[in-house]
Amino acid sequence: MLATKKIPTHRRSSLIHKRSRRGAAVVEAALCIPVIIILMFGTLEISSAYYLKESLTIAAYEGARTGAKRRATRQQVVTRVQDILAARNVTLGDEGSIVVEPNDLSTLDALDPLTVTVKAPTSGNSAIIFDSVANRIVTAQVKIAREFDH
């Protein structure tokens, strides 16, 4: 007579529990990993949009500061804005613009307002998704008082 070895009941139930737990872990991973990836890419896009807005604001501010100085010209303001945007790898593309108001800075007296507006599309300035999905125009405007007469 052959002796059959019986597996104790507590061991059998732990083997079944381990197998079912392994299956639950696979299902949890299948559900959680896509959510984590979506959150990661969403965070990258939000950071990219914030960087674009901040870059435009900094460029507009630096341009306005340049225009507020004595004997500043519109071309100096535009060049300063373009330099800042280039340093921060922001492209204006066909839809972007740099607007300086008034157009002739020699007409400004001390404490007259000077406005610099910079617009850029999210297309070409976004990390991943906004580049092709949501092409929006981001705008930054800075108004500053002229420091000196002419």
Q: What is the mean pLDDT of each run of 10 residues along the chain (150 residues)?
A: 60 60 81 94 88 97 96 96 97 95 92 97 77 80 88
Query: In this structure, are residues 84 and 65 in contact, taking their beta carbons and an 8 Å threshold?
Result: no
Q: What pLDDT is recorded for position 144? A: 96
What distance in Å separates the CA atoms of residue 96 and residue 136, rounded to the nearest whole number?
11
* Class of residue 83 by CB neighbours under 10 A (exposed 0-12, middle 13-18, buried 19+): middle
pLDDT at 19: 62
Decide the pairing of beta strands 137-145 and 113-121: antiparallel
**Domain locations in the chain as residue ranges:** 10-145
Residue type, 79: T
Reported pTM = 0.79
